[in-house]
Amino acid sequence: MLQRALGASGIDVSVLSLGSWRTYEHISREQGLAVMNSARECGIDFLDDARYNDETGMAPLQTGYSEVVFGELFRAAGWKRDEVVVANKLWWEFWPKESAQQELDSSLTRMGFDHIDLIYATAPPEGLDAAEIVESVGGLISSGKARAWGVVNWPPELLVESARLARASGVPLPCAAQLAYNVIWRSSVEGAEESIALREACVSVVASAVLVYGALTGKYADPEMTGRLAAKRHEPIFKEAVDAASTLAELAARFSTTPAALAIAFALAGPRVASVLFGATRPEQVRENAKALDVDPAVVAELRRTYPLR
C-alpha cells in the first residue's frame, strides 16, 4: 500500500488507517481479529486506538477496556510492533489532577505497550493553554513514551500558536491533524483559515468521518435502518450527507466502484491528506474500503465539482 509522510516527524504511514474507537468491545474477538488480519493483508500499517467509557455494561473496566482489547487483538494478529504506527489520544478528561504523562502511562499499561508512535492531543479543556500542551507532549516525546504528536479537531488559531511555541521551545512540531473531512464537510481542511494554519504548522491531515458515520454509503436511505445516525438522519448537519448518498451511489455505479470507496478516494485526494481513517466491524468492509485506491482520479474530480467548497 502507498505510504505518505506525517509532517516532518520522519514517520511514514499507509494511506489508509484502521480505527478501533467504539468497535472491538461491540463485536466478538473472532470478528475483531478477522478485521485486523484483513487490514494487515491489505497493507495497512497505521492503527488508531483510543480510550472510552464502557458502553456495554459488561466490561471489567469502567473506562479504557477498549485499549485492553486492542492490545490483545494486536498481539493475536501477529503484528510486529516496530513495523506498525499506533496512535492514541490524550482526552485531558481528568486534567489537571491527571497529567498527560499519567494519562498516557495508564493507556500504555492497558494496551500492553511501552510507547505510542503518535499521540494526539484532543481539544483542551478550559484553563489548559497551548504552552502547557506543548510542554507536556514534549516531555512525552523526550521520555520515549511517544515518537510524535498531533492534534484532533483543533481550531486553526490554536494549531498555529502551538506550532509557534514548539518551534521556540525546541519541541517537535505537531505532525498530524485528525480532522473530519468528506465531500460534505470540506472546510476543515480546505477553508481559507484552516488551510493556512495547516501549512504554517507543517502538519499532515488524517481524514476522519469520511463516510459521515455511514451516511454516505446510502445505508440510511432505508427508514428502518438502525445505526449511529438513525435517530439523527433528519438533523441539518447530517441530512445533507444522507441526501448526497444517492449521488455517490449513482456515480459509483457508473464507474464500477462503491459509494464508500468513492468517498474514501475523495478524502485521500484532499490537500495535505496523509491517510484516511475508517472503522470496520467485518473484514469485508476493510477489503471494500481498500478499493478506494483503485478509483480513477477523474471520478474524484467529478465528485469535487458536484460538491464544491462552500
Q: In sequence order, what are the beta bridge partners of 273?
A: 205
Instruction: Say how many C-beta atoms besides its own lie within 10 A of residue 37's C-beta.
Output: 17
Give Cα 125 distance to the centre of its chain.
21
When the pLDDT of each residue in the chain is averaged and rounded to a whole number, the result is: 93
pLDDT tops 80 at residue 1: yes
Q: What is the model's pLDDT at position 21?
A: 77
* Beta-carbon contacts of residue 272 (< 8 Å; ≥ 6 apart): 189, 195, 198, 199, 203, 204, 205
pLDDT attached to residue 222: 64
Other Cβ atoms closer than 10 A to 246: 12
pLDDT tens digits, one per residue of 252-263: 999 999 999 999
DSSP class of 15 = S
User: Cα-flanking dihedrals φ and ψ of residue 79, to 5°?
Assistant: -60, 145
The reported pLDDT for the residue numbered 103 is 98
Place of cell 482520479: 297
Q: What is the mean pLDDT of residues 270-289?
A: 96
Q: Give the pLDDT score at 242.
A: 84
Checking if the pLDDT of 275 tops 70, the result is yes
Give the model's pLDDT for residue 213: 83
What is the spatial distance between Cα 85 and Cα 12, in angstroms, rounded to a whole number?
Answer: 8
144-162: pLDDT as tens digits:
999 999 999 999 999 999 9
Supply the pTM of this predicted model: 0.95
Mean pLDDT on 179-203: 96
pLDDT above 70 (res 279): yes
Classify strands 116-121 and 3-5 as parallel, antiparallel or unpaired: unpaired
Return the ∠ at Cα 174 (arms to 188 and 206), rounded to 5°.
Answer: 45
pLDDT of residue 230: 61
Q: How confident is the model at residue 191 (pLDDT cuts 50, 70, 90)?
A: very high
Which burial class, exposed, middle or buried, applies to 252 when counting CB atoms under 10 A from its CB (0-12, 13-18, 19+)?
A: buried
Q: How far apart are CA 227 and CA 273, in angstroms?
A: 28
Query: Any bridge partners for residue 85, and if so which?
Result: 46
Grade residue 307 by pLDDT with cuts at 50, 70 and 90: confident
Cα–Cα distances (Å) from 200 to 173, 204, 208, 264, in that order, read 11, 11, 21, 26
CA pair distance 181, 309, nearest whole angstrom: 12
- Predicted pLDDT of residue 241: 85
pLDDT of 192 strictly over 70? yes
pLDDT, tens digit, 9 for 90 and up, residues 21-44: 789 988 999 999 999 999 999 999
Over 70: is that where the pLDDT of 7 sits?
Answer: yes
On the question of pLDDT at 98 being above 70, the answer is yes
> What are the residues whose beta carbons fall under 8 Å from the beta carbon of 106, sequence distance 6 or more?
64
Cell of 243: 441526501
Which pLDDT tens digit goes with each residue over 222-249? 666 666 666 666 777 778 888 888 899 9
Select the more confidently predicted residue: 90 or 305: 90
Query: Grid cell 460534505 — which residue?
Result: 184
